[in-house]
Amino acid sequence: MLSCFAFRPRLFLTLVLLLPVLAGCVSPPSAAPSYSGPPVDDVSFWDGDHLSGSPSVRISLSEQLAYLYKGGQLAGVSLISSGREGLGTLTGDYRILEKDREHRSSLFGAYMDAQGEVVQADVDTSKDPKPPGATYLGADMPFWMRITGGTGMHKGFLPGYPDSHGCIRMPGFMAEHFFHSVAVGTPVRIEP
């Protein structure tokens, strides 16, 4: 059913409310979407490979969605998990400051012993002292796109609600599409 809407991104969110009425929409689209892997969720989609123009990103914390535009046209929508209570994601207008394909957190991660076993998980290096002989391994944050300070968009776990330390987590295939579409300097608006 989702494939019926893959090439109508502007209508997608409106039409999803009409799914019971549109139950007969079963014919395949005329062209295959650029992502051919298994569905990740019922909302995230990418239809931006054919679009050109300057990219921009809009993140809605209330919707838990990120939108990527190319030349003002919607290229993709991604489910997100933003900052949880007490570690909320800051709203405002920003720009992409840094991109790093294989980023690791310098603040959150785990302490490991000499054999590579976890000594302490869920470490916050600003609060948790390192045990003697332990080494720090930062949390894996692939497709990192720094927005401000230690906050960025990246591939991560999405439990269905705000759960991060302030970052904007995305499904892997969407983080990769966003990563390859933005550049340092791309505008990002984070809305309540």
- Assign 3-class secondary structure to 46-114: ECCCCCCCCEEEEEECCCCEEEEEECCEEEEEEECECECCCCCCCCEEEECCEEEEEEEEEEEEEEECC
Question: What percentage of residues in the chain have a pLDDT greater than 70?
Answer: 79
pLDDT for 62 equals 97
Give the chain's mean pLDDT. Answer: 83
Classify residue 63: in a domain, yes or no.
yes
- 25/56 same-domain check: no
Mean pLDDT of 118-129: 94
Classify residue 37: in a domain, yes or no.
no
- 165/128 same-domain check: yes
CB 142 within 8 Å of CB 101:
yes
- Statement: residue 17 has pLDDT above 60: no
Domain span at 17: 1-32
- 112/25 same-domain check: no
Classify residue 13: in a domain, yes or no.
yes
Classify residue 19: in a domain, yes or no.
yes
- 27/46 same-domain check: no
25 vs 94: which has the higher pLDDT: 94
Q: Please enumerate in sequence order all residues whose Cβ is within 8 A of that of 132, keeping only pairs 6 or more positions apart, or say none.
A: none
Whole-prediction pTM: 0.75
Instruction: Give residue-wise pLDDT tens across range 20-61.
Output: 333 333 323 333 334 344 446 889 999 999 999 999 999 999
- 28/53 same-domain check: no
Confidence of residue 130 (pLDDT cuts 50, 70, 90): very high
Q: How many domains does the chain have?
A: 2
The enclosing domain of 136 has a CATH number of 2.40.440.10
CB atoms within 10 A of CB 157: 9
